[in-house]
A and B are shown apart, each in its own frame.
Chain A
Amino acid sequence: MTRESAHQTAGLNWKRELALSLLTALWLGLLTGPLLVCRLNPTDGSIVYRWPLLFYVAGGGFILSSVWRLLLARRNLRRRRAEVALQGPKRTWVDLLLASRRRCQGLWLVMLFLISLPFWASPYTVNILITALIYITLGLGLNIVVGVSGLLNLGYVAFYAIGAYTYALLNYYFGLGFWLCLPLGALTATILGLLLGFPVLRLKGDYLAIVTLGFGEIVRLLLTNMEVTRGPRGLANISPPGLFGLDLNALVKPRLLTWLPLDPNMDMNKVFLFFIMLALVVLTILAVFRLENSRLGRAWLALREDEIACQAMGINRVRAKLTAFALGATWAGLAGVVFASQVTFINPTSFTFMQSVMILSIVVLGGMGSIPGVIIGALVLILLPEELRAFADYRMLLFGAAMVLMMVFRPGGLIQSVRQVYLYQPAQPPDKGQS
Chain B
Amino acid sequence: MELFRDLFISGLTKGSIYALIALGYTMVYGIIALINFAHGEIYMIGAFTALIASVILGQLGLAGWGLLISAGAVAAIYAAMYGLTVEKIAYKPLRHSSRIAPLISAIGMSIFLQNYVQLAQTPNFLIFPDLVPEIDFLAPIAHIVNKNQLIIWLVTIFLMAALTLIVKHTRLGLAMRAVAQDRDMARLSGVNIDRVISATFVLGSALAAVGGLLIGCYMQQIDFYIGFLAGMKAFTAAVLGGIGSIPGAVLGALVLGFAESFAAGYISSDYEDVVAFVLLILILIVRPGGLLGQTQTQKV
Contact = CB atoms under 8 A, between A and B. Distances in A.
A110 to B, nearest CB: 29
Interface stretch (B158-166, B199-207, B211-219, B267-275): B267-275
A34 B115 contact: no
Given A35-B52, A397-B112, A400-B111, A207 B288 contact: yes
Given A308-B298, A361-B104, A411 B94 contact: yes
B93 interface: yes
B120 A39 contact: yes
Given A35-B49, A202-B288, A218-B278, A403 B82 contact: no
Given A34-B49, A34-B52, A211-B280, A218 B107 contact: no
B12 interface: no
B281 interface: yes
Given A209-B35, A400-B111, A411-B94, A45 B55 contact: yes
B103 to A, nearest CB: 7
A32 B120 CA distance: 9
A75 B125 CA distance: 42
B18 interface: no
Contacts of A72: 93
Interface string B18-32: 000000000001000
B35 to A, nearest CB: 6
A419 B114 CA distance: 37
- Interface SS majority for chain A: helix
Given A199-B285, A407-B101, A400 B109 contact: yes
Interface residues of A, number: 61
Contacts of A393: 119
A210 B284 CA distance: 10
A93 B218 CA distance: 57
Interface residues of B, number: 68
Interface stretch (B60-68, B184-192, B235-243): B235-243
A40 B55 contact: yes
Interface in B175-233: 228, 232
Contact of A215 (B52, B56, B268, B277): B277
Contacts of B122: 39-40, 42
A407 B94 contact: yes
Given A225-B271, A397-B119, A404-B108, A42 B126 contact: yes
Contacts of B121: 35, 39-40
B154 to A, nearest CB: 27
Contact of A38 (B52, B93, B268): B52
A407 B105 contact: yes
Contacts of B73: none
B4 interface: no
A116 to B, nearest CB: 37
When A and B form their complex, which 4 residue pairs have the shortest distance between CB atoms, in order from nearest? A403-B108, A400-B112, A400-B111, A214-B277
Given A36-B120, A360-B104, 13 more contacts: A32-B120, A35-B49, A39-B121, A75-B93, A202-B288, A221-B274, A308-B300, A394-B115, A400-B109, A403-B108, A404-B109, A404-B112, A407-B102
12 contacts: A30-B81, A31-B82, A38-B56, A47-B55, A210-B280, A225-B271, A368-B100, A394-B115, A396-B114, A403-B105, A404-B109, A406-B108
